[in-house]
Amino acid sequence: MDVSTMAADFFLGVDGGGTHCRVRLRDAQGALRAETKGGSANIFTDPAEALTNIADACHAAFTIAGLGDDAMGRTAACFGLAGANMAGAVARVEAHTWPFQTLRVEHDGIIACVGAHGGEDGAIAAIGTGAVYVIQVGGKLQTFGGWGFMLSDQGSGADLGRESLRRTLYAQDGIIERTPFTDAVWARFDGSMDNLHRFAETAKPRDYGALTPLLLEHAERNDTVARFIVERGQTGVTLVLDHLVKLGAKRICIMGGLGQAYQKYFPYRFRPYFVSPRHDALDGALILAGGRVQ
């Protein structure tokens, strides 16, 4: 019998984002055996780093569970990865030598939506380092956004961080008024344009996203520039939420750290649609791998 058609003894889910990846291992009865966390797993922005971090986190899960390498060969796995929607990304993951019985690779937004609604119809807005929106209607999944902050992902942490730097430079040039927020951002780079240039030459989405806690802190204090940036981001999110409703979404889960921060900025018309997720993205991956969740 082909090993891929045999019933798996274990099921492994990976939720790989731009900042970190998480791994969950369950047995065939749905019992939790281990959870681990690793580094960035955006398969598009840094494939080599992502594959290494995913592999390390997966091996750590089996070690924590007290299982040997042979157990991996009896495991059905599903990876939900940021950047998996980009050209060639899935092929790069599948070309890597994995020890699992079966492997399914999806965009991280897909596993988040499946988990949030337990495999049933619904939609999500997942807003963290990146931003992606997924809707399932009549069992058919459709994804919007998630093309990287250089092209899309408005309102994501990376997008807000980049806009924070742009507005800070406006303030330093006297184009707009300086505020405590722009001063705080400028201080992060020791008031040096050289430092800022060096940052921009190598910065990844998570590096831009690291500025969002500072941004949200100042937005809470009604800093005019910080509020402008957050409200600008919310406008981009709202545009897609309206589209999800138009497509027939009856349930929408707002997910991700920034998604929760945006809640107070969303128009009232969306409140009837917002629901809490039934499961998280890791359990969504496990569902797609064929496993049971509790």
pLDDT of the residue at 4: 56
Which stretches of the chain are DSSP H helices?
47-64, 89-95, 108-116, 157-172, 180-188, 193-202, 205-209, 212-220, 224-247, 257-262, 281-289
pTM of the model: 0.82
Query: How many angstroms from the chain centroid is the CA of residue 155?
Result: 13
Spatial contact of 206 and 158, defined as CB atoms under 8 Å apart: yes
Fold of 157-273: Nucleotidyltransferase; domain 5 (3.30.420)
Q: How far is CA 160 from CA 2, 116, 272, in A?
A: 49, 25, 27
The predicted pLDDT at position 1 comes to 37
- Do 50 and 40 contact (CB within 8 A), yes or no? yes
CA distance 211 to 214: 6
Q: In the beta sheet, which residues pair with residue 114? A: none
- DSSP string covering 43-78: TTT-HHHHHHHHHHHHHHHHHHTT--GGGGGGEEEE
Question: Hey, what's the torsion of the CAs at 118, 122, 126, 132, to 10 degrees?
Answer: 120
| Predicted local distance difference test score (pLDDT) of residue 2 | 46
What pLDDT is stored for residue 182 in this prediction? 98
Given this model, what pLDDT does residue 288 score? 94
pLDDT at 211: 97
CATH number (3.90.1150.10, 3.30.1330.100, 3.40.50.720, 3.30.420.40) of 3-117+279-289 reads 3.30.420.40
Domain with CATH 3.30.420.40 in the chain: 3-117+279-289, 157-273
- Which ranges of the chain have pLDDT less than 70? 1-5
How far is Cα of residue 15 from the mean position of the Cα atoms in its chain? Answer: 8
